[in-house]
């Protein structure tokens, strides 16, 4: 028996990881069953707001945005490739991990 997590402030003892995943899925599903997502507005204040929009009509700013976007696209490809290689090396059997039922 292992105590993997707590349910209703009591340790949940299970015999296997699969049993723990199943219990966790049931617990999370029960807690989120009646959950609602509602938008809220927050008052945001900060010194950076004073300069917001200062480059609105500056053509150089548009060019800079394009250069930054291109750099980010290239980095995303490189980072994704490195992450996949690193993840595969660290977790060769991840495909067999237990999953919550849909």
What would the pLDDT profile of 49-88 be if each residue is shown by its tens digit? 778 888 888 889 989 999 999 999 999 998 888 877 766 6
CA distance 19 to 98: 9
The DSSP letter of residue 16 is: S
Per-residue pLDDT at 93 exceeds 90: no
Q: What is the pLDDT of residue 26?
A: 86
Q: State the pLDDT confidence band at 7, using cuts at 50, 70 and 90.
A: low
CA distance 72 to 19: 42
Per-residue pLDDT at 8 exceeds 60: no
Q: What is the pLDDT of residue 24?
A: 82
Find the length of the chain: 102
Q: What is the pLDDT of residue 72?
A: 94
Q: Report yes or no: 11 and 1 within 8 Å, Cβ to Cβ.
A: no
Q: What is the pLDDT of residue 70?
A: 95
């Amino acid at each position: 028996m292992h105590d993997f997590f707590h349910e209703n402030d009591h340790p949940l003892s299970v015999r296997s990881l699969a049993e723990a995943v199943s219990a966790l899925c049931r617990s999370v599903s029960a807690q989120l069953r009646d959950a609602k997502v509602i938008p809220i507005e927050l008052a945001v204040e900060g010194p950076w707001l004073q300069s917001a929009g200062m480059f609105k009509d500056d053509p150089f700013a548009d060019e800079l945005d394009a250069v930054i976007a291109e750099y980010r696209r290239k980095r995303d490809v490189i980072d994704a490739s490195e992450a996949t290689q690193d993840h595969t090396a660290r977790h060769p059997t991840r495909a067999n991990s237990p999953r919550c039922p849909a």
